[in-house]
Structure 1
């Protein structure tokens, strides 16, 4: 199996060591949110397991930089310093402290951003890469078109660019490269994988749903998120009655209870049609990627 320029996105309550290890052994970059393992002692066990299984491969963790939203802020920083993950993906808040730690042991920091302003701020602080969260991304999707976002960022940033938003096939990965991205960021494609921690009902819902089943709303936290309408209906929530939340409640980033039964997915959901292992997904992606390359080669000029 050849490696593809893919980072498997860290998915809240779904990603786990099995997914990270399988992805990274396949030649891509697996990741998980540190807060998926609770308490911090359990997170240390996850990190130890991954580090032992992947002594030379690339892998990543996701760290919430906001010290109020992340009640485990200091503990997680200590875990990063202790286990030295090769890549730390930062979300929400100023990544300066984690940059100092990670650069101290030779690792890299990638910051996820949803607009040009935040991209400029993170670039100025010294991150190694920017994850451009575009329209249609699972979880907290942005609103920018990827063509415009990549072009805007390339005017001021020379580091690694990771593109996120509706990427779920090998052809999508190639398209991201052609647009100027170094990596494709894929989460939704792996929601129904055998190794993930998503409940069986969630996995089946992802397989059965399409883009018409996804709602972009800020009703729950004041921050826009793509959620599965069927997951709202099963909880007795009428999506037509949802109203924008006036304040921003950042506890959605760490509150397991709030998001255990309200499920998210991105617009790339249509490419998920069956249950597969992580390895099987990568085999499919590689076939699609090679087919897309051949299609480009065969295109004749007008």
Structure 2
């Protein structure tokens, strides 16, 4: 299996997944300085009409701060960062945001909800790589055919928009034909799980929900505490809120006056990622989360979370070395 050289010096084989609304420059910079890939959705950077483009301000800050860190710490440079592009017809900003990311030489591009050759070409044109998130083997093949360099396998239990397949099934099917970069998403909130992802054939883990409960995350304090206080049984899988199947915290749905165990189905044609989309006010605080949050016990700085994940990863490796009999 081949991995891009830019991932050679990662402290842990993992990407901090781009969290809608939540991922911001503070979180991304902290993740990258801690030695893992930090990521944010381009659509998180928003400005009012007539104001300077926020995405450019974010990219300027991230690149300059990581450059300063690398100059001051040549032996422990920051990991590369990633920008997530929603490749869906309702995203009116896509062309503009792709152009801006190319201008700033974004190193890692993560594409979602549509694989487009021209987006991958833009990534390659500025020296970047493109990773496409997929929920099944058919979408994985399409993404690679259209020029993606690697894949993010979004399995059952992942936070936000998620698939329904077992991670074992999804990774093994992709690995029958693809030997490039492959990261696994789905209830990964401990270092043990990152090592397990590698054991089943992925190159690393894609960790999202655990980072909601970090000090840098742009999330309501009640949201962070709900992540800390709940576990896998408190997650519901629904397509009601965006038109795409995803995982959400049951208590947040109940607080909005709905029965989380009896939600209506949505029409996928209503899927809308435009900036002017309207949602019922009662949905404002319906919060996404993956099934792995039972491992989250405190709200911590992002660097401390990475420290914990690394300790668990090393401990799991040592435990397996003594438990697995050599051939």
Alignment map for 1:1-302 (pairs within 5 Å)? 3-39=11-47, 41-55=53-67, 57-66=79-88, 68-251=89-272, 258=279, 260-299=284-323, 301=325
Q: Aligned partners of 2:227 and 2:276: how far apart in 1?
A: 22
Q: Provide structure 2 residue ranges, at least 5 long, that are not aligned to the other structure.
A: 1-8, 71-78
Worse-matched range after superposition: 47-56 or 108-117:
47-56
Give the deviation of 1:102 after TM superposition.
Answer: 1.1
- The secondary structure found in structure 2 opposite 1:109 is strand
- Is contact 2:121–2:147 with CA below 8 Å preserved after alignment? no
CA RMSD of aligned residues (A): 1.9
User: Could you state the TM-score of these two structures normalised by the residue count of structure 2?
Assistant: 0.87
Give the deviation of 1:218 after TM superposition.
Answer: 1.6
| Alignment length (residue pairs) | 301
Q: Aligned partners of 1:187 and 1:223: how far apart in 2?
A: 18
Q: Aligned partners of 1:65 and 1:141: how far apart in 2?
A: 16
Q: Provide structure 1 residue ranges, at least 5 long, that are not aligned to the other structure.
A: none
Could you report, residue by residue, the CA deviation over 1:169-221 in whole angstroms, capped at 9, with x for unpaired residues? 01101111111111210001111100000111100111111111110012233
Evaluate the alpha carbon distance shift between residue 271 and residue 254 of structure 1 in structure 2; reply closer, same or farther with a 3 A threshold.
Answer: farther
Worse-matched range after superposition: 156-165 or 54-63:
54-63
Q: After the TM superposition, which parts of structure 1 deviate over 3 Å for at least 4 consecutive aligned residues?
A: 252-260
Q: Which residue of 1 aligns with 2:6?
A: none
User: Could you state the TM-score of these two structures normalised by the residue count of structure 1?
Assistant: 0.94
- Is contact 1:13–1:256 with CA below 8 Å preserved after alignment? no
